[in-house]
Amino acid sequence: MKYSEKLMELYSNPKNVGSLDEKDKNVGTSVVGAPSCGDVIKLQIKVDDEGKIADAKFKTFGCGAAIASSALITDWVQGKTLDEAKKIKNQDVAEYLSLPPVKAHCSVLAEEAIEKAIENYLSKKGEEICKK
């Protein structure tokens, strides 16, 4: 598969690889995709007191496009509020990386990962408020 230079750079030197403490109440975690489909993204965000994403990490099993999409989206959400982060769309990722059409699902998966991580964070927060 012929990939763009931007994609190859993100695949070769991906930033934000790693994990955050899943038990931390300020951390939202998502795992999307399935091993049997050849793509799994685990994505985590850490939200600071001002409601901004202070850190985002990922681990990805998948092709070059999946790895690059995860690296890109974890980079883009840094410093953003949750509402701003939700506005990042898979088309933006696909366009930036010049993804071939057959790889569009990788950017869809990355978007889904961010959404689910935010949901996870918010549901943790919700539980916390209920307990109070």
| Active site (catalytic) residues | 37, 106
| Number of residues counted as binding other proteins (CB under 8 A) | 28
When asked if residue 1 is in the footprint of other proteins (CB under 8 A), the reply is: yes
Q: Minimum CB separation from other proteins for residue 128, in Å?
A: 26
Question: Residue 20, Cα to own-chain centre: how many angstroms?
Answer: 13
Binding mask of the shown chain, residues 2 to 41, with x at each position contacting other proteins by CB under 8 A: -x----x--xx-x--x-------------x---xxxxxxx
| Contact flag: residue 121 with other proteins (CB under 8 A) | no
- DSSP string across 75-92: HHTTT-BHHHHHT--HHH
First-to-last C-alpha distance (Å) of the chain: 53
Question: How many CA atoms within 13 Å lie on the side-chain side of 127?
Answer: 8
- Binding-site member from 10, 20, 42, 77 for other proteins (CB under 8 A): 42
